Structure 1
Amino acid sequence: MSHRFRFGVVGESVRTASGLTALARRAEELGYATLTLRDHFVAEPFGDQLAPVPALTAAACATRTLRVGTLVLANDYRHPVMLAKEAATLDHLSGGRFELGVGAGWLREEYLRAGMPFDPAGVRVERLEESLRILKDLLSGGKTTFTGEHYRVDGLEVFPTPVQAPPPLLVGAGSPRMLGIAGRHADIVGILPRALPGGTISEEISERMPDAIARKVALAREPGRDIELSLLVSPAFGPDPQACAERIARRRGWDAGLVPDMPTQFLGPPEHIAGQMAARRDRYGFTYYLVSDRDMEAFAPVVALLA
């Protein structure tokens, strides 16, 4: 099934209550579908961040139709029972406008500075998969019993019952195992570069090339499941797409000839970018694109053309 295009904003530069509500109202006014927030409590590498769940509650209360979401919560920072309670409450308070994004956690420096053990990737991923099963059961409104290696839940129900029962679940994934888990459990799969064992995200250009993205999409596609595919993108605007590609290549140290075909790169005037997105929907299936709030205004004409 082909999904319709929709677009989201990542509130990366929001630092105040007034800035948050202004951003949410402007995103809604411009036709964006979602406002999302990251989940970090150290300043590097994205700058200081508001805590996502209370901040998104404020954003939902300041708007009427805008959906709000986490991009993404680190599973290790919250027990799934407590997260289900928060997610159900936010979905209830927003009138069914919440999307729950969860990942395995990857930023080693953040774990260490908080005094939390940064377990091997396999352990963190295993824990995430158990958590996803618990979250889906609890947020579906039924009584949940679960016994796993990392979590045990005995006959719990979540209150309040979420309006969406369950809210859409997004999982960000870049490695083969994570992509398989996302394909089995998520409604939305955010395709990412690989998280590295040392606690950073891969900067390799190979992670961003068409063949690599196509392989990741194939790993996330589970027979019988209709997932929405998502990317966080960095558009480069200007009258000449090639000049935009050269500008990006100089900044990133890439070969300018490779940039125009990268699925995460969109270049040129809005009409050209809209055409690129239509072509990449046909090739890969991506329909849900997110941009930084710094790009929100410049990207709005693309939203108007496609949303």
Structure 2
Amino acid sequence: MTRFGVVLISERSSKEEWLARCRRADALGYDVIAVPDHLNLLSPFPTALLAAEASERATIGTYVLNASFHRPALLAREVTTTVALIGERLELGLGTGYVESEFAAAGLPFDAPTRIDRLAGLVAELDRLLDHKGPPLLIGGHGDRVLGLAARRAEIVSFTGAPYRPEYGRTALVTAGALLRRVEHVRAAAGERAPRLELNVLSKATVLTGDRRAGVAGLRRYAPDLTVDELLEVPTLFVGTPAQIAEQVRQNEERFGFSYITVMDSAMEDFGKVIEHLR
């Protein structure tokens, strides 16, 4: 059965406001309520605990913790405490981080090899500190090393489909064909583990419209070098009527193996209409 997650983002919020947003995500049918890890946003673990308080049903995820921001022993304490308080509902998402200004603010180097080494080291140490009994691990990214690590060590591999592009100073989406090659890379790297992996994709935007070609025009900022036809094909954007997008989700699962879809909270309400067609 396909799972659906939403990343809730807030720079500031009262407890009541945060709980209301989490309850709304739960009511819309999301299976996973996830919290991000950026320096300008609310801290992930307190908000994760409140999300669990708001919903008795949903899994609570981190999408994703920046490995460079967390020391293994301290993160192991956070994980152990969270599991003790909310039970077996935590899904631990990790990544390398991608916002260069945040690394500068934290006094950390931004070069890719160092970030990936930190992620690999954190995964190994957490496994040891949690005695191989940690919550389900999600690792998200795009490059060979990160996805190879995910294939070998995680239960869930999350595809961002958006590498960092220096010419744009940010990430940008790749074509459907390029993302399919990323999936094939993971399956090859996973070997015997491949059939047991859950494949997740992070969607950047959902646009409800009766005119898909017109609807995708406002999404060009996510992939400046892709054509309209290429934008309509990528599994990281959802454009169309709820029924059309539901069919896109089904086709993406068949073509890419994506059985777990995560959307940003700006799309929470609109994609909730899609979930209705898939349940």
The verdict on a shared fold, with TM-score over 0.5 as the criterion, is yes
Matched, 1:124 2:115: yes
Q: Deviations over 1:23-57 (max 9, x none)?
A: 11111111101111111113xxxxxx110011111
Structure-2 change in CA distance of 1:250 and 1:125 (3 Å): closer
Partner of 2:12: 15
Contact kept? 1:208, 1:263, Cα under 8 Å: no
Contact kept? 1:11, 1:37, Cα under 8 Å: yes
Partner of 2:56: 64
What is the RMSD of the two structures over their aligned residues, measured on CA atoms?
A: 2.2
Matched, 1:256 2:228: yes
> Per-residue deviation at 1:62?
2.2
Q: Deviations over 1:195-229 (max 9, x none)?
A: 357995432xxx42011101111122211212111
Task: Give me the whole-angstrom Cα distance separating, in 1, the residues matched to 2:192 and 2:166.
Answer: 32
Q: Deviations over 1:99-155 (max 9, x none)?
A: 1111122322112123x231532122122112101212333x46xxxxxxxxxxxxx
State the secondary structure of the residue aligned to 1:32.
coil
Matched, 1:136 2:117: no
Q: Which amino acid aligns with 2:239?
A: L
State the secondary structure of the residue aligned to 1:229.
strand
Alignment counterpart, residue 145 of structure 2, candidates 177, 181, 188: 177
Partner of 1:29: 27
Partner of 1:6: 3
Contact kept? 2:9, 2:265, Cα under 8 Å: yes
Task: Give me the whole-angstrom Cα distance separating, in 1, the residues matched to 2:223 and 2:114.
Answer: 33
Task: Give me the whole-angstrom Cα distance separating, in 1, the residues matched to 2:65 and 2:141.
Answer: 13
Task: Give me the whole-angstrom Cα distance separating, in 2, the residues matched to 1:107 and 1:23.
Answer: 26
Structure-2 change in CA distance of 1:200 and 1:54 (3 Å): farther
State the secondary structure of the residue aligned to 2:29.
coil
Alignment size in residue pairs: 271
Q: Which amino acid aligns with 1:170?
A: L
Structure-2 change in CA distance of 1:197 and 1:265 (3 Å): closer
Alignment counterpart, residue 229 of structure 1, candidates 199, 221, 225: 199
Task: Give me the whole-angstrom Cα distance separating, in 1, the residues matched to 2:73 and 2:213.
Answer: 50
Matched, 1:219 2:188: no
Task: Give me the whole-angstrom Cα distance separating, in 2, the residues matched to 1:5 and 1:166.
Answer: 23
Which has a greater percent of helix? 2
Task: Give me the whole-angstrom Cα distance separating, in 1, the residues matched to 2:200 and 2:222.
Answer: 24
Stretches of structure 2 that go unaligned for 5 or more consecutive residues are none
More off after superposition, 12-21 vs 274-283:
12-21
Task: Give me the whole-angstrom Cα distance separating, in 2, the residues matched to 1:73 and 1:251.
Answer: 22
Q: Which amino acid aligns with 2:81?
A: T
Contact kept? 1:108, 1:198, Cα under 8 Å: no
Contact kept? 1:39, 1:72, Cα under 8 Å: yes
Task: Give me the whole-angstrom Cα distance separating, in 2, the residues matched to 1:130 and 1:36.
Answer: 23
Contact kept? 2:174, 2:223, Cα under 8 Å: no
Matched, 1:304 2:276: yes
Contact kept? 1:248, 1:256, Cα under 8 Å: no
Compare CA radii of gyration and give the structure with the larger one: 1
Q: Deviations over 1:168-188 (max 9, x none)?
A: 111111111111111111111
Percentage of matched positions with identical amino acids: 34
Partner of 2:163: 194
Task: Give me the whole-angstrom Cα distance separating, in 2, the residues matched to 1:196 and 1:242.
Answer: 25
After TM superposition, the score normalised by the length of structure 2 is: 0.89
Q: Deviations over 1:262-294 (max 9, x none)?
A: 121221111111111111111101111111222
Task: Give me the whole-angstrom Cα distance separating, in 1, the residues matched to 2:191 and 2:180.
Answer: 16
Matched, 1:110 2:102: yes
Matched, 1:270 2:236: no
Task: Give me the whole-angstrom Cα distance separating, in 1, the residues matched to 2:168 and 2:37.
Answer: 15
